Chains A and B, each alone.
Chain A
Amino acid sequence: MKNSTLFFRTLALVVFIAGGAHLFSYLSYDGEMVANGAAESQLEKEIITDEKEENMLVNDKTPEKDALPAKAVEVDKETLTGQWKVEYDTEDYKGSIVYRIKNESGKHKAYTHEYRDPAGNAQKAEGDLVLVIDRFEGETGKGTYTIEYEGKSYEIEAKLKRVNAKTFTLSYDYYGYGDTETWKKL
């Protein structure tokens, strides 16, 4: 067999297999977005229920007005900027961290802003960069999240999912070490 035939057959096979995987990934990403808009996940339901209860207690308003389902929320990328609180209850850390998301040259980046212990005591954070949002279209997005483990920093891919205008979830899975965080806007 001629070398050129070998080359083109090999190239065609690689393009077909890897291209198929990328095309599939792209299409399923779009599908995921549609699915997210059509149905609320269990987590979304829980968060919305929590918010409904919160709103009823604090504002004495009808829950339907404040806590709209995810699909009804008009997503604006600019709503990302500002302060977001995440609750943690792990062996390493109990309490919450407030992050500040800034829009830097069109890219949204989250920095640590404040640590809060369960008693409500706050301490200013060092302002470390923890999340770079690569894209957040519609209701899903992707970013690079920095986690610390045994003194080392790891930059890992994270999936973002809009729950409503004031809440999104961030999930990651780094070779079995994973979590889903709920980011709530302050």
Chain B
Amino acid sequence: MIEFLSKHLEWANVEYWFYIFNDLSLVYIILPFFVLELIRYAYLKRLNKDLVLDSLANAFTFVAFYAIEIILGILAVTKVYFWVHENLSLPHLPLNWMTIITCILLADFAYYWDHRTMHRIGLGWATHTVHHSSEHFNMSVAYRFGPLDAVFPILFSLPIVMLGYDPILVLLAEVFVQVFQTLLHTEIIGKLGKPIEYIFNTPSHHRVHHGSNRQYWDKNYAGILIIWDRLLGTFEPEVETVRYGISEPLNSNNPFKVFLHGIGRLYRKMKGLKGFKNKMLALIKPPDWEPS
């Protein structure tokens, strides 16, 4: 076992494995699953104009998010990651299975905290509310991103680079977590077996996360492992039927409105607050915060 975990791996192989899991998953699992969901919607007579427009809006937000991510990457992020790796990092870890497994675990844990932060601070919710604003729940919702969704993860993945992990490996692990998360956006799969539901994040757990029912707010932030929620007090099982969406519904499928409504709402909130300090506090305090 130790021999297997410590065996030196070639980068070309590692990149190829992640290419199969990360990049190709869209072709061999996500798109086929989405088609299956559409068939199910049609069978249940729920395939309507709103669902189609909602899915198109999701695709639009993904294109906008991806463009921002590419621009950020080209401008600075990649360089910052490598600079941190060279100058502010613990001794660099060798490329072996132990490094890959622990890197995915840390990327998953970083995802938990990134996700939790986006729910619990005003600026985070301004961008992440986009993802939650759909009243549907299918694979296309996984691609519904806000304008700053590419920025927040940087803050949480840089510490992993500082721990000695290669920046490229960290990025690949982050995408791996994101791909796993994508697969959870479905109503087709009910509850899985108890051991799986106890350890892993499942569609059931993630439906709870998307619920606008009061008891489901700010629960189940996990990416791959639900144990992070269990350990840090944010776990909630799926009991009551989930109502998807946000407490203040958007009622629009206009892609621009979908993409920017959170920022607009935060701007209007800040504009309405008195004093510079309160305006700044609105950025870092919870989304429902009001000055006393």
Q: Does A21 contact B (CB under 8 A)?
A: yes
Q: Does B92 contact A (CB under 8 A)?
A: yes
Q: Which residues of B contact A155 (CB under 8 A)?
A: 86
How many A-B residue pairs have C-beta atoms within 8 angstroms? Tell me: 74
Q: Which residues of A contact B113 (CB under 8 A)?
A: 10
Cβ–Cβ contact A22 & B15, under 8 A: no
Cβ–Cβ contact B90 & A22, under 8 A: yes
Cβ–Cβ contact B106 & A17, under 8 A: yes
Cβ–Cβ contact A1 & B233, under 8 A: yes
Smallest Cβ distance from B272 to chain A, in angstroms? 29
Cβ–Cβ contact B93 & A25, under 8 A: yes
Cβ–Cβ contact A24 & B232, under 8 A: no
Within 8 A of A (CB), among B147-163: 159, 163
Cβ–Cβ contact B102 & A20, under 8 A: yes
Known: A21-B99, A25-B99, A175-B11. A14 touches B232 (CB 8 A): no
Cβ–Cβ contact B164 & A18, under 8 A: yes
Q: Which residues of B contact A10 (CB under 8 A)?
A: 109, 113, 232
Cβ–Cβ contact A173 & B95, under 8 A: yes
Cβ-defined partner of A176 (8 Å) among B5, B11, B90, B92: B11
Tell me the dominant secondary structure on chain A's binding face. helix
Q: Does A41 contact B (CB under 8 A)?
A: no
Of all chain A residues, which has the CB nearest B101?
A21
Within 8 A of B (CB), among A1-34: 1, 6, 9-10, 13-14, 17-18, 20-22, 24-25, 28-29, 31-32
User: In the bound complex, how far is the Cα of B92 from the Cα of A155, in angstroms?
Assistant: 14
Known: A1-B232, A25-B93, A173-B95. A17 touches B12 (CB 8 A): no
Smallest Cβ distance from B282 to chain A, in angstroms? 21
Within 8 A of A (CB), among B52-100: 86, 90-96, 98-99
User: In the bound complex, how far is the Cα of B163 from the Cα of A174, in angstroms?
Assistant: 19
Smallest Cβ distance from B82 to chain A, in angstroms? 10
User: In the bound complex, how far is the Cα of B6 from the Cα of A28, in angstroms?
Assistant: 6
Q: Which residues of A contact B92 (CB under 8 A)?
A: 157
Smallest Cβ distance from B224 to chain A, in angstroms? 13
Q: Does A178 contact B (CB under 8 A)?
A: yes
Known: A1-B233, A13-B231, A176-B10. A25 touches B109 (CB 8 A): no
Cβ–Cβ contact A28 & B2, under 8 A: yes
Chain B window 161-203, contacts with chain A (Cβ cutoff 8 Å), 1 for yes, 0 for no: 0011100100000000000000000000000000000000000
Cβ–Cβ contact A25 & B98, under 8 A: yes
Within 8 A of B (CB), among A115-129: none
Cβ-defined partner of A28 (8 Å) among B11, B15, B96, B102: B96
User: In the bound complex, how far is the Cα of B181 from the Cα of A10, in angstroms?
Assistant: 21
Residue of A1, A21, A178 ringed by the most chain B CB atoms within 10 A: A21
Smallest Cβ distance from B231 to chain A, in angstroms? 6
User: In the bound complex, how far is the Cα of B113 from the Cα of A177, in angstroms?
Assistant: 34
Chain A window 162-186, contacts with chain B (Cβ cutoff 8 Å), 1 for yes, 0 for no: 0000000000011111100000000
Q: Which residues of B contact A173 (CB under 8 A)?
A: 10-11, 95
Known: A24-B6, A28-B96, A31-B6. A17 touches B109 (CB 8 A): yes
Of all chain B residues, which has the CB nearest A26?
B91
Cβ–Cβ contact B5 & A24, under 8 A: yes
Within 8 A of A (CB), among B109-150: 109, 113
Cβ–Cβ contact A175 & B168, under 8 A: yes
Q: Which residues of B contact A25 (CB under 8 A)?
A: 6, 91, 93-94, 96, 98-99
Cβ–Cβ contact A17 & B164, under 8 A: no
Q: Which residues of A contact B6 (CB under 8 A)?
A: 24-25, 28, 31-32
User: In the bound complex, how far is the Cα of B2 from the Cα of A173, in angstroms?
Assistant: 22
Q: Which residues of A contact B106 (CB under 8 A)?
A: 14, 17-18
Query: What are 16 residue pairs bridging A and B, where the CB atoms are less than 8 Å apart in the complex?
Result: A6-B232, A6-B233, A10-B232, A13-B109, A14-B106, A14-B109, A14-B163, A18-B106, A21-B98, A21-B163, A22-B91, A25-B6, A28-B2, A28-B98, A176-B10, A176-B12
Inter-chain pairs besides A9-B232, A25-B96, A28-B96, 13 sampled, C-beta below 8 Å: A6-B233, A9-B231, A14-B163, A17-B106, A18-B102, A18-B163, A18-B164, A22-B91, A24-B5, A25-B6, A173-B11, A175-B11, A175-B15
8 shortest interchain CB distances as A-B pairs: A28-B6, A176-B12, A1-B233, A21-B102, A18-B163, A176-B11, A175-B11, A24-B98
